[in-house]
Structure 1
């Protein structure tokens, strides 16, 4: 297929992101090929002209009832990260293909993580919080430094691999736990594979990048936290459910030497007054590691490029299937 094939691309991204993700540039690129129409999964009637649907943050789940109103749908282009909240079993049952911009979103998360690793090894957040509490200067203590540090990665998916590549530029030892990663892949990334206990116990900074599912729920709890070395840092930019928050509060209360930086929590958002907001060795950020602001445009750019491949009959670069989805965040 090429040119204008006489069918439409529907978009149902939430209003908050409809222009920051699908920018004028992205919309122009799509309209150069096909018609672009808005589709509301909750209220619109049957649209038999829509063969591609662009989803994203704010999109309602694509249930069987929704798909009944899109009888010609062949492809879902998810202009965001995880498709878990949008793609249902009905999508796979009908043979609809799915592509996701998770790799574009991963860039922002990896950059955020990389920055937090450096800040943690410089003890930035603890010193800043201590200065605020003291209302003045505090001693320059607890600065581990970057050279020679050991960083532990839990998960070598899109984000974990990007973080490993960024860390490879420095004099660091990088350990990784991922039951699905092979030695050749690890060697190519410059990381050493180990079991979870070993990675936790040897890491100056432990950063989580695993998917959240039944097998990884609360994979970091009391026993695992107790393995963390003195003066180490826990980073979580993956999913809040990976960490048992009750255990984390208890642990941070008795192990003041360990610091936690949490960009995701369970639940998300934490209720006002939660202990993690008050602890001097914890920093909670409101899920900002992923693509926000001007970074959101790269998600739309990826979706538009993937659409061109589909129209031209070329292989998709970012297609996922049901089996692969089970291993992703």
Structure 2
């Protein structure tokens, strides 16, 4: 039986036991030789240089140092980078691709809790639960059993901006509900949208016709402030904007101005900047619901990321290729 290839963790050391708890670590070790006490937080650290020189598989995560030419020169045996989180943009450099090193990401696994969070917020927003909670807290009086006009999720129109992994996962989660989803994405064809079971609309039309708009696009120079003053004005009265993607997709000054009118509401798990300054009006506006970037993997969910890497390592070692390989050509339009 051939010897298992040498692997090395490259991430914030305190995250290793969270992402790779004992059972997941044992699964990973079935395919590779890896020491959880030896973690590269700096590729120039003498304590990891010897292991790095023999490393064939780098298991990366949040806090991984940049894989520039100097780091790669120190890892001449490196053949694959298996990332136990979402985006690899923060540490993978063009030099990685030039050297033919394969890269995999657990972004598909991380998409699951983000889509779940978004689904929950869509359903809560449709029932105006957040505003009702605040009214009840302030007035300390139950409004009675009268029907509340204008709320409910039956037939509500949901506009999905971006057929990313999260956007597609969300569309799957929406299927059991009697909602009417639509999609906008410049890289999706009519036929692809039909296969996803949703109509494809230009952004302006999606904004005009959606009760809830949820953002799942990457932040690039083209998408920065994708939702600004003009786009917010297109949204119908009472509409809700949900952002679990990147804060820079939304012009926050324009959003604050629109929220102050009371015409729209917003659910923001990401902001620009992040965190918000202490005096940001978004903390206090009654129609803004802000959470601290927790839609992605948290708590017991992060072990799913480690398990994804362990399964990917087993495939790679068996010569089956990567199930979640990163395509460098598509990376510029991904998160």
**CA-to-partner distance for each residue in 1:215-246, whole Å, 9 max, x for gaps?**
00000000000011111100000011100111
CA distance in 2, matches of 1:252, 1:243: 13
Structure 2: gaps of 5 or more residues: none
Instruction: Please show how residues 69-108 of structure 1 align to structure 2 within 5 Å.
Output: 69-108=74-113
> Does the C-alpha gap of structure 1 residues 90 and 136 become closer, same or farther in structure 2, counting only changes over 3 Å?
farther
1:177 aligns with 2:184: yes
Q: What is the aligned partner in structure 1 of residue 318 from structure 2? A: 312
What secondary structure does 1:48 align onto?
helix
Matched, 1:151 2:158: yes
TM-score by length of 2: 0.93
* 1:167 maps onto 2:174 in alignment: yes
TM (norm. structure 1) is: 0.94
Kept in 2: contact 1:151–1:203 (CA 8 A): yes
* Structure 2 CA distance for aligned equivalents of residues 101 and 257 of structure 1: 38
User: Does 2:248 align with 1:241?
Assistant: yes
Number of corresponding residues:
326
Equivalent residue, structure 1, for 2:131: 126
What's the offset of the Cα at 1:60?
2.1
Question: Could you say if the C-alpha distance between residues 6 and 49 of structure 1 is closer, same or farther in structure 2, counting changes exceeding 3 Å?
Answer: farther
CA RMSD of aligned residues (A): 1.6
**Does the 8 A contact of 2:85 with 2:305 survive in 1?**
yes
Query: What SS class does the counterpart of residue 56 from structure 2 fall into?
Result: strand
Change (3 A) 1:35 1:144: same
In structure 1, what is the Cα distance between the partners aligned to 2:2 and 2:238? 60
Measured against aligned partners, the alpha-carbon deviations of 1:175-202 in whole angstroms (never above 9, x if no partner) come to: 1100111122211221110000000111
Are the equivalent residues in 1 in contact too, given 2:227–2:249 (CA < 8 A)? yes
Name 1:110's counterpart in structure 2: 115
C-alpha deviation, 1:101, in angstroms = 0.3
> 1:264, CA displacement in angstroms?
0.4
Displacement of 1:64 in angstroms is 2.2
Range 236-245 or range 44-53, more displaced: 44-53
Residues of 1 paired with 2:304 and 2:120: CA distance? Answer: 20
Q: CA deviation at 1:133?
A: 3.9
